[in-house]
Structure 1
């Protein structure tokens, strides 16, 4: 057992990131990693070293995720259900029964992997991946996100390199039909400063300052908030929506800074009770996207209390 732990434990965090990309949920990803290590422990004595331990674990983890996908429906963001709303004053429409994509705390991931693969963790990509069949999804993640060779991917997937190339081609074509919104360059910590953007955003929300939020948002910014299917694209609708339906009065909201998916984020509280996690996508010209996950349980998952 000591040999098993010494050989495998170093890969736990990167396997969690892999399972998260596959499943779109931090809860499901943790379950898949637990299942991976259980299966690996049971099979460890029979492991013959024909591949690296890392590849062997990825194979088990990928199979665990594909098995999980057969039992669950696809996860979405609001933008995956319908087009943007054009009336910021109209009541928002709930889609409470939908299985939503979840954010993942940076604290659960390997810091080096976050720096190297930040684009591969962004919420928009995680949501887009959910449209791919399990095998295509795994191949795309291993080849295009993690940069594995076709031969290594074939070993993990128990198939040929020709089949890997074919699945990757189909996955790329499918994603090209509805490309994830990833072409906006993310702000780097040394340019406009991610922490500074988050601090200004927190101040604007806590002071219910719609004008300050308008200055922070890009002209083409979008706002999505689960569990609502209603979402908005463009500052002209985002700002009135925030001002009239979200912000309330100064002091209603309290936001605590955190990090999710390699991006600045905040744990949100409304009048002292946990609301959920808000993830920002800052760019050199302003905040391009705010994705709010209205799930109080996520606040505790990120290490914050249920109430303030």
Structure 2
């Protein structure tokens, strides 16, 4: 379909939607739903919060469509509505945390730790629907770069207005003037917020993104790393696991508060807990936050199968794993479309 025909179709659907045609409204927003959801995740650090925020934002847009005057694109207007919805959520709930935010690392394995339920934890994001490259010509970040764990975790250290300004400018390619209109403020205030936000993010995010690292590593080596991690976990092979890691590797497991830094501490934890004390593992490769991920299922004797346990998001430096973030809990598996259980294999009997 030509750009002219597409514009006419959008204008027609917009007129119908303003008259109360919800099917026309659905046709208007459906092509933008995935990128709006990713924006909500970047703002909020939680897939579940992003679900709620997007639903709320589209309801607000539907009810307020008669006030959309067409001075900006529909896409820009929907981002304005979604951003304000997320800012309301940030004001109510505050920021999401990672274990590293709560205290120093542990030198030795902590066994039998109870999850900390009163902390709003950062969660993983299913990135299968994200496109490659930037969301707009003027954007600094690629779409997948902008959901990488380090970037989203850094955003959580920003006040809501700085978070929104940085995302709208660097990820979505809005101008400072457009952001000022979106956030009902001045261009000077936007530029000030951007300056402060960039400084904090630069302190917390590596200069080389995971997307650049993964492209340099290559698909074949990446498959070897994921397969090696999975095999080591399933067979209890500490030597294979350690060979994949950098000297300064970290391992964290939200909602557990203890985390480990350095090869000695990580090895002690790995040997004492997942490689020894756990009853058995099966793993599936997947992708979260634009990064290689291993979905780990743990053996459940009573059910005679493997149940969801954690999504292990791997962060690479060169062709070694420098960070493992294990998001524990079966609820994380649902947005990824992963199986609710895995059966016993012949080799397990």
Q: Same fold (TM over 0.5)?
A: yes
The alpha-carbon distance between structure 1 residues 142 and 275, as it changes in their structure 2 partners (threshold 3 A), is: same
Aligned mates of 1:82, 1:137 — CA distance in 2: 24
Tell me whether 1:203 sits opposite 2:203 in the alignment: no
Whether 1:142 and 2:168 are equivalent positions in the alignment is yes
Corresponding residue of 1:253: 281
Contact in 1 for aligned 2:106/2:258 (Cα 8 Å): yes
Say whether residues 1:303 and 2:337 are aligned partners.
yes
Q: 1:138 to 1:293 in 2, by over 3 A?
A: same
Partner of residue 96 from structure 1, selected from 102, 111, 117? 117
Give 1:84 shift. 1.3
The 5 Å alignment of 1:132-281 reads: 132-175=158-201, 179-184=203-208, 186=210, 187-189=213-215, 191-193=217-219, 194-248=222-276, 252-271=280-299, 272-281=306-315
CA distance in 1, matches of 2:63, 2:274: 51
- Closer/same/farther in 2, CA of residues 4 and 185 from structure 1, 3 Å limit: closer
Q: CA deviation at 1:77?
A: 0.8
* Alignment coverage as a number of residue pairs: 306
**Aligned partners of 1:86 and 1:150: how far apart in 2?**
46
| Deviation (angstroms), 1:262 | 0.7
Change (3 A) 1:160 1:246: same
1:4 alignment partner, one of 5, 25, 31? 25
SS of aligned partner of 1:71: helix
How much has 1:132 moved relative to structure 2?
1.3
CA distance in 2, matches of 1:167, 1:116: 21
Paired residue for 1:131?
157
SS across alignment from 1:126: helix
Matched, 1:35 2:56: yes
CA contact (8 A) 1:279 1:290 kept: yes
The TM-score with structure 1 as length reference comes to 0.91
Moved more, 140-149 or 238-247: 140-149
Aligned counterpart in structure 2 of residue 67 of structure 1, from 84, 88, 92: 88
Cα separation, 2, equivalents of 1:155 and 1:238: 48
Structure 2 alignment gaps of length 5 or more = 1-20, 136-140, 300-305, 343-349
Report the CA distance between 1:129 and its aligned residue: 1.0
Output the CA distance in 2 between the equivalents of 1:280 and 1:269: 17
Q: Does the 8 Å contact 1:218/1:287 carry over to 2?
A: yes
SS in 2 for 1:171: helix
Give distance in 1, aligned partners of 2:134 and 2:124.
16
Unpaired runs of 5+ in structure 1?
Answer: none
CA distance in 2, matches of 1:185, 1:203: 27
Q: Which has the larger radius of gyration?
A: 2
Distance in 2 between residues matched to 1:83 and 1:285, nearest whole Å: 27
**In 2, distance between residues paired with 1:214 and 1:39?**
50
Q: Secondary structure at the match of 1:86?
A: coil
Q: Deviations over 1:9-46 (max 9, x none)?
A: 21111111110000000000011111111111112222
> In 2, are the aligned partners of 1:136 and 1:170 still within 8 Å (CA)?
yes
TM-score scaled by length of structure 2: 0.81
Q: Does the Cα contact within 8 Å between 2:147 and 2:290 map onto a contact in 1?
A: yes
In structure 2, C-alpha distance between the alignment counterparts of 1:206 and 1:184, rounded to whole Å: 31
Measured in 2, the distance between the counterparts of 1:180 and 1:92 equals 28
**Partner-residue secondary structure (3-state), 1:277:** strand
